[in-house]
Amino acid sequence: MNTKLKRDFIKICSDGYKQGWHERNGGNLSYRMKDEEVKEVKAELNEDSEWKEIGTEVPSLANEYFMVTGSGKYFRNVELDFEDNVCIIKLNEDGTKYKIVYGLVNGGRPTSELPSHLMNLEVIKNRNEDLRVVYHAHPCNVVALSFVLPLDEEIFTREIWEMETECPIVFPKGIGVVPWMVPGGKDIGIKTSEIMKEKDVALWAHHGMFVCGRDFDEAFGLMHTVEKSAEILVKVMSITNEKLNTIRPQDFRDLQEPFNVTLDEKFLYEKSSKKIGEK
Ligand code: 13P
Ligand code: ZN
């Protein structure tokens, strides 16, 4: 296989690894393929493989094809041996089963987070047909903040937004927060996809982040923007727990017109405390 899609998939895996977001097998990636991308590789697909249970139902994704990282596979190795680490799966006619039609040539299965990926891919497709990428990574700073900021989407979003002017423009719907949960199953997939019905970013407390996008650049850029802001906040908090200066609610409101974004007023509360993480 030698397609642009394969090259782009490899690039985000390598870029994420170089950022330090993918220790060992940490993180996973999925992409809902376009019809023309499936046609391009059709001759290389093996449709005789056996159907397996997804562990959830995603009827809006019935019969579609996805490029997905393998479970236990290292992002670092994707560029070295794509066919060993990545697969293409096809879903059955009611979106309850999948089969591997390409890749994972030395055995294995798609990511253990497949239920979360597919449930997210389903809700974002229903939001906008062009949204095709779901990306999960383990970036240090945002995970660190999940230990010290309240696990409240209003506070989390506001504190991250205040760290970089770009933030409300890049993710105007804010960050949804999933409290610590057992990863790898349907339950965490339900919680995450409830957030992704509206937002492009979900934090998994003490674990990592899920983001979505129309393409790999957008998904990577979103992960990078949130993590960069989280890094600035970690630096600020290592100096002080009170800010002398910051971006204020009216400043955020003033961004809306020139950047054509609408910000939910719930994130723009007047603070009665100067302490980071307090309302
Ligand atoms: P997988 O190797 O199964 O993709 O799991 C990695 C991970 O980050 C789980 O949340
Ligand atoms: Zn993870």
In a domain, 276, yes or no: no
Distance between Cα 73 and ligand 1 center (Å): 8
Distance between Cα 78 and ligand 1 center (Å): 14
What local confidence, expressed as pLDDT, does residue 42 receive?
A: 98
pLDDT tens profile 207-253: 999 999 999 999 999 999 999 999 999 999 999 999 999 999 999 99
What local confidence, expressed as pLDDT, does residue 29 receive?
A: 98
In a domain, 272, yes or no: no
In a domain, 42, yes or no: yes
Give every residue of the chain whose pLDDT is below 70, as ranges. none
CATH number at residue 61: 3.40.225.10
pLDDT tens profile 20-39: 999 999 999 999 999 999 99
Dist. CA 29–CA 68, nearest whole Å: 6
Are 192 and 217 a contacting pair, CB within 8 Å? no
Percentage of residues in the chain having pLDDT higher than 90 = 100
Count of domains for the chain? 1
Distance between Cα 74 and ligand 1 center (Å): 9
Q: Is the CB of 256 under 6 A from ligand 1?
A: no
Q: Which ligand is nearest to the CA of 182?
A: 1
Report the atom number in ligand 1 closest to the C-alpha of 112.
3
What local confidence, expressed as pLDDT, does residue 159 receive?
A: 98
- The DSSP element (H or E) to which 30 belongs, if any, is strand 28-32
What local confidence, expressed as pLDDT, does residue 221 receive?
A: 98
In a domain, 273, yes or no: no
Answer left, alpha or beta for residue 63, where phi above 0 means left and psi between -120 and 50 means alpha.
left
In a domain, 203, yes or no: yes
Report the atom number in ligand 1 closest to the C-alpha of 28.
4
In a domain, 219, yes or no: yes
Dist. CA 161–CA 128, nearest whole Å: 25
Which positions ≥6 away from 223 have C-beta within 8 Å?
16, 21, 135, 137, 139, 209, 211
Q: 254: domain range?
A: 4-267
Dist. CA 177–CA 254, nearest whole Å: 26
In a domain, 232, yes or no: yes
Q: Ligand 2 being an ion, which residues bring their Cβ within 5 A of it?
A: 208
What local confidence, expressed as pLDDT, does residue 190 receive?
A: 98
Indicate whether this model's pTM tops 0.95.
yes
In a domain, 277, yes or no: no
What local confidence, expressed as pLDDT, does residue 44 receive?
A: 98
135 beta partners: 29, 211
